[in-house]
Copies of this chain bind each other. A is one copy, B any other.
């Protein structure tokens, strides 16, 4: 192939999540075709992220400020805390713009297979926050997987002696979801959890 610089860039981009060497090559060609405009623009954007983005010491969110704009916002309900697995989940909840409390990012879920123990997650930090902040309700918005459910049970067991409401997201058929496309687990759960009209 032409030039080790191109190969080096392809190698880095091929390791990005959901990409491989074929899509990396397509992306590098796309960048090369707009070399004079797009590459400097991308470098600037990367440098700005590199220089300005910090991790919030309180919740683990990425922001230009520390504490982040969500933790320091006066208009957010400081009694309501939503525990999520990762920052992408925080972004998903923020896109809706409906949640008005604060967040706590665990940084993963417990996993016997991948060897993730409570010490690997921000659970200590969560307990510290509960001691220091006046939190009345914790929403455990963890993934609806076995590991996610185990993590939820683990955290709720740690909180059972405290005077805090612990809730989790409702499960069932998503809005617009067709029964035909749902897996058996979801259908069983939606039947078991059926609501009276």
Q: How many monomers of this chain does the complex have?
A: 2
Query: Which residues of B sit under 8 angstroms from A2, Cβ to Cβ?
Result: 61-63, 68-70, 87, 90-91, 94
- Tally of A interface residues using CB under 8 Å: 52
The complex places the Cα of A48 from the Cα of B10 at a distance, in Å, of 12
A41 at the binding interface (Cβ < 8 Å):
yes
A95 at the binding interface (Cβ < 8 Å):
yes
Query: Which residues of B sit under 8 angstroms from A38, Cβ to Cβ?
Result: 12
The complex places the Cα of A50 from the Cα of B44 at a distance, in Å, of 13
The complex places the Cα of A30 from the Cα of B14 at a distance, in Å, of 13
The complex places the Cα of A196 from the Cα of B47 at a distance, in Å, of 62
The smallest beta-carbon distance between A67 and chain B, in angstroms, is: 12
